[in-house]
Amino acid sequence: MAARAQPGKLRGVEILQQLGLALGFATLSGLNLYLTVLVSGLAIRFDWVSLAERYESLAVLGDWWVIGVAGGLFLVEFFADKVPWVDSTWDTVHTVVRPAGGILLALAALGDLDPVVSVVAALLAGGTTLVTHSAKAGGRLLINLSPEPVSNAVASVGEDGLVLGGLTLMALAPAVAFFVFVVLVIVAMVIASKTWGSIRTGGRMLRERFRGKRIEAA
């Protein structure tokens, strides 16, 4: 005879699922905001996923206007993201856009919250998106310093693959997705720290070398 599910445990699973979706949206938005919105919108529009009542706020992603705008911007990013230095310029422009989008998606996944909780959730979501964005942008800067352009396309396709894989995991197992994205965010923090540290070191060495040449010329 199967044991009766306890309401407290069920509620705990539901909360974990919501956190998995919110954290997933915040994390993936830092890699590719427009692809995240586009695929989520199409999934909702064509009923690839069924939205529970607590996720009604996400239904707006299935609107054709949202899908159209996200699709158009993703098309632009698809090509810009594969051109050396153009991708870094695009990342710079989206330093504000991606965290803002990550906040909106995460709050939509969490639904109605107490105003104080909403502010805290927004700060955490924005910080999470900024972490993955920083890891992506820093990695692209290092790639652009390499002599061959193929790495840009490979990195871009890999990032899009991570977004698609992450969204699939969120749809199939949102509770599991929470723990997976926690690990991904920690990895992104380490990557961002090491990448930007290398960039600062390289920039300092270039400045010192430039100063040395100016002194010799004088």
Residue 185, helix vs strand vs coil: helix
Q: How far is CA 151 from CA 8, 158, 160, in A?
A: 49, 10, 14
Amino acid code (one letter) for 104: L
Residue 1: the pLDDT is 35
Question: How does the average pLDDT of the chain come out, rounded?
Answer: 87
Task: Count other Cβ atoms within 10 Å, centred on residue 159.
Answer: 20
Euclidean distance between CA atoms 149 and 187, whole angstroms? 25
Residue 151: the pLDDT is 83
The reported pTM is 0.86
Average pLDDT over every residue of 80-91: 92
Helices (H), 82-149: 86-110, 115-144
Model pLDDT for residues 28-47, shown as the tens digit of each residue:
999 999 999 999 999 999 99
Given a contact cutoff of 8 angstroms between Cβ atoms, the answer to whether 19 and 178 are in contact is yes
Of 35-44, 68-77, 204-213, which gets the smallest average pLDDT? 204-213
pLDDT at 129 over 90: yes
Amino acid code (one letter) for 135: A
Closest CA to 32 of 171, 129, 175, 145: 129
